[in-house]
Amino acid sequence: MRDGDEWVVSGQKVWTSGAADSEWGILLARTDPDQPKHKGITYFLVDMSSAGFDIHPLKQMTGSEHFSEVFLDGVRIPAANVLGDVGEGWACAITTLSNERGLIAGGNKSSDIGVLIELARKRGRSEDPVLRQAMVDCWIRQQIQRYHGFRLQTALSKGVPPGPETSVMKLFAAEYLRLLGNASLALLGPEATLLSPDAPAGQDWQQRFLYAPAIRIAGGSNEVQRNIIAERVLGLPRERQADREIAFRDLPRGGS
Ligand SMILES: Cc1cc2nc3c(=O)[nH]c(=O)nc-3n(C[C@H](O)[C@H](O)[C@H](O)COP(=O)(O)OP(=O)(O)OC[C@H]3O[C@@H](n4cnc5c(N)ncnc54)[C@H](O)[C@@H]3O)c2cc1C
């Protein structure tokens, strides 16, 4: 709620990447419950050292603590920290998400099929027909992904903001990383079950395999990317949304 020159925010958000280490955060908060769900949301830039934050890191199956559950209890945010107009945060959020999807898709430089092919050669497995087929599939996907990246970089260099094409890139990257993880474990064989820096096969490929499912969810799940591609790239009819015009306060939800 608004209080003079400040907004006072209480609530909870799970899966906030980097929350435990960040100085600034993006906060989307409902400021008008009488609007339907995509309206009445305001986009705040929030100082993470503000009083009222309680941050609980969450451990993933990789062992890392990439994201946190964040609780806000009366956090005060200057009104000047609103990005865009009050109640119109969803439009800014779409731009943020498009950028995030491009970053997720382009930010996996260490997951290089070339390194796996080299490992297959060293282990005398590069002529294995089944493994070879899986690695070639990954190699082709990595090349296509590179060209998607070039196209996005060219658009950005001309000042064109990223749009739904980053959903294509993110979906493509998620599939690539899934297949790469599978191929790497097939190559390592039983050694893949030993996960430690001093294990015979180390742990890098196993870590990538374990992290791949997160890429299918972060920044919007694969299914949601497919919907965006269908509706905003291919121009197919929108999926039915019975709650699209209902005020947020009237939506059925837990505890109501
Ligand atoms: C590594 C990682 C980092 C993250 N970082 C952040 C972060 O920094 N900030 C943040 O706010 N969130 C973050 N998230 C959360 C992430 O954005 C959400 O988990 C994701 O968007 C899915 O939303 P959800 O969890 O509410 O699942 P839901 O939307 O409830 O989805 C559940 C299932 O239903 C399917 N589904 C949902 N809607 C549809 C539909 N319309 N059509 C077909 N299928 C559908 C989904 O594909 C999924 O399988 C992160 C998640 C991960 C894994």
> Is there a shared CATH topology between the 2-87 domain and the 91-233 domain?
no
What pLDDT score was predicted for residue 109?
A: 66
What does pLDDT average to over the chain?
Answer: 93
d(C-alpha 85, C-alpha 239), whole Å? 28
d(C-alpha 205, C-alpha 132), whole Å? 17
pLDDT category at 129 given cuts 50, 70, 90 is very high
Pocket of ligand 1 contains residue 227 by CB under 6 Å: yes
At 158-188, the pLDDT tens digits run: 999 888 889 999 999 999 999 999 999 999 9
Q: What percent of the chain is predicted at pLDDT more than 70?
A: 98
Pocket of ligand 1 contains residue 223 by CB under 6 Å: yes
- How many A from CA of 9 to the centre of ligand 1? 23
In this prediction, residues 29-34 reach a mean pLDDT of 96
In this prediction, residues 6-34 reach a mean pLDDT of 97
Nearest CA residue ID for atom 43, ligand 1: 223
Nearest CA residue ID for atom 28, ligand 1: 221
Q: Which tokens belong to 97?
A: 């998400």
What pLDDT score was predicted for residue 70?
A: 98
Pocket of ligand 1 contains residue 27 by CB under 6 Å: no
Residue type, 49: S
pLDDT category at 199 given cuts 50, 70, 90 is confident
Ligand 1: nearest atom to the Cα of 66 = 1
Domain 2-87: homologous superfamily in CATH: Butyryl-CoA Dehydrogenase, subunit A, domain 2 (2.40.110.10)
d(C-alpha 103, C-alpha 91), whole Å? 19
Q: Are 205 and 185 in contact (CB under 8 A)?
A: yes
Which residues, 6 or more positions from 222, have their beta carbon under 8 angstroms from its beta carbon? Answer: 171, 174, 175, 216
CATH 3.30.43.10 fits 91-233, yes or no: no
Q: Are 208 and 184 in contact (CB under 8 A)?
A: yes
Pocket of ligand 1 contains residue 230 by CB under 6 Å: no
Residue 177: phi and psi, rounded to 5, are -70, -30
What pLDDT score was predicted for residue 197?
A: 82
DSSP per-residue letters across 46-113:
EETTSTTEEEEEE--TTS---EEEEEEEEEEEEGGGEESSTTBHHHHHHHHHHHHHHHHHH--TT--H
Domain ranges of the chain: 2-87, 91-233
pLDDT category at 127 given cuts 50, 70, 90 is very high
Pocket of ligand 1 contains residue 220 by CB under 6 Å: yes
Greatest Cα-to-Cα distance within the chain, rounded to the nearest angstrom: 70
At 202-226, the pLDDT tens digits run: 899 999 999 999 999 999 999 999 9
- How many A from CA of 213 to the centre of ligand 1? 12
- Positive or negative, the Cα torsion across 88, 29, 171, 160? positive
At 61-115, the pLDDT tens digits run: 999 999 999 999 999 999 999 999 999 999 999 999 999 998 888 866 668 999 9
pLDDT at 232 over 70: yes
Ligand 1: nearest atom to the Cα of 220 = 21
ipTM over 0.85: yes
Active-site residue numbers? 100
